[in-house]
Amino acid sequence: MEFGPQGYVKKLDATFVQHCEGGTSAARGEVHIENPAPPAELGLGLDIALDGTASSLNGKATFHGTVSCNKPVQVTVAGDVTQVKKRDLIRGSYSTSVSCTPGAPVAWTGTAVPTGSVPFQKGDVEVEGRATATDPDYDQPVTVSETVAVRLTRV
């Protein structure tokens, strides 16, 4: 047997003999399978831009980036945002979904709502991002991650 990615059977050569209880003759045979080359595994890329905004109206942080893929898939981009200002630790989460098609990177935008009463502010935040999609050929989840410092400007 020869396997490809995710247990894909590329080649199988087998011979067999089957005897039945009390039977005089045996069943004999051969099986030969050669499948075409396996489909490529899903490749994902995630990029988080180094600039974003902090809203002076609602305190939310908005940032953006791109995802890339080698197969058409629906990609969920999600993660956490953290900012330290004086004695305040400001946190929030985001999640968005985009349709990715092979070729050019696809833009995404995420918005994090602060979990407490202190709004996101102008300055640096740490953005942790995860892009996740299911490989349509192997029905397996694929995830890539990136963590960057993003500079927020006030809008």
Q: Is the pLDDT of residue 77 over 90?
A: yes
The structure tokens 């890329």 sit at 45
The pLDDT score that the predictor gives to residue 18 is 83
- Quick one: average pLDDT of 134-148? 96
pLDDT value of position 83: 97
Backbone torsions φ then ψ of 41, nearest 5 degrees: -75, 155
Does residue 56 register a pLDDT over 80? yes
Q: Alpha-carbon distance 132 to 78, whole Å?
A: 8
pLDDT at 127: 98
pTM of the complete model:
0.80
Q: What pLDDT, in 10s, does the model give residues 86-117?
A: 889 999 999 999 999 999 999 999 999 999 89
